[in-house]
């Protein structure tokens, strides 16, 4: 993707981490590679929530390699949840646009240039990566995970009619002011947070586009989706149905 000569937008990637020491060097290398090839200004903000595995130390080494302008460290003392990690990250972001994604290699940075291109072409407020449209897909999940994700999406589509085919995904590009407003409006934590962001964006009339992505289950470490997340998702869905 080539940038227009007059395009001086900067992109801030928010990477919330918890026990991602093995994954962080790879995801950072890939981000640097694809942003550099796309000729756009960027920074990677690592928000580590007190990982006991040395994630922060790995991030400090990466900062020495790539520089403090590129790798910005905004750690927190303990695990405080995804929603608050984004609030924390946005406060420190210098970019006009914010990319949110997982640090566990399930989201490949190669899709970011496509997101940037679509945003520019259609002047969108949000571009979300979708596993459930076009060439999108999932690999490495067992049947249970697929059923949960598909089921969550189906229920949300029927009950809330969001302007996106994949509401539980967490690979998105936002205008910074839009992300700020949505975070301020959201009440959910955890797994429900991503869904609420898209539902509220739909209600507020923001322009949303989609780029098909292939989601790959994490290579290192353990999945953070458990029974309690499923229960809280259903509760959150009912709450949004009642209040939006």
d(CA 177, CA 37) in angstroms, rounded, equals: 26
Task: List pLDDT tens digits, range 156-167.
Answer: 888 888 889 888
pTM of the model: 0.86
Evaluate whether 124 touches 145 at the Cβ level (below 8 Å).
no
d(CA 169, CA 188) in angstroms, rounded, equals: 15
DSSP 57-88: HHHHHHHHHH-TTTEEE--BSS---HHHHHHH
Domains and CATH numbers, the chain: 10-243 (3.90.550.10)
Task: List pLDDT tens digits, range 73-110.
Answer: 999 999 887 888 888 999 999 999 999 999 998 999 99
In angstroms, the first-to-last Cα distance of the chain is: 38
d(CA 101, CA 115) in angstroms, rounded, equals: 12
Evaluate whether 128 touches 175 at the Cβ level (below 8 Å).
no
Backbone angles phi, psi at 187, to 5 degrees: -115, -15
Bridge partners (DSSP) listed for residue 15: 46
Split at pLDDT 50, 70, 90, the class of 242 is confident
Other Cβ atoms within 10 Å of 144 Cβ, number: 9
User: Residue 69: pLDDT above 60?
Assistant: yes
């Amino acid at each position: 993707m080539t940038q227009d000569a007059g395009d001086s937008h900067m992109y801030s990637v928010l990477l919330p981490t918890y026990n991602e020491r093995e994954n962080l060097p790879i995801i950072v290398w890939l981000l640097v590679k694809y942003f550099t090839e796309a000729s756009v200004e960027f920074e990677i903000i690592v928000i580590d929530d007190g990982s006991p595995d040395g994630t922060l130390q790995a991030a400090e080494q990466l900062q020495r390699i790539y520089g403090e302008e590129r790798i910005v460290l905004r750690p927190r003392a303990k695990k405080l949840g995804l929603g608050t990690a984004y609030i924390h990250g946005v406060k420190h972001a210098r970019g006009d646009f914010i990319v949110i994604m997982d640090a566990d290699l399930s989201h490949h940075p190669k899709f970011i240039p496509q997101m940037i291109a679509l945003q520019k072409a259609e002047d969108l407020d949000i571009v979300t990566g979708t596993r459930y449209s076009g060439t999108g897909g999932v690999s490495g999940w067992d049947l249970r995970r697929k059923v949960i994700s598909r089921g969550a999406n189906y229920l949300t589509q029927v009950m809330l009619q969001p302007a996106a085919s994949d509401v539980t995904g967490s690979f998105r590009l936002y205008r910074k002011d839009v992300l700020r407003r949505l975070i301020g409006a959201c009440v959910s934590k955890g797994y429900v947070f991503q869904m609420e962001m898209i539902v509220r964006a739909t209600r507020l009339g923001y322009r949303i586009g989609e780029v098909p992505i292939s989601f790959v289950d994490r290579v290192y470490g353990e999945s953070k989706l458990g029974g309690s997340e499923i229960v809280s998702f259903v509760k959150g869905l009912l709450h949004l149905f009642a209040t939006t």
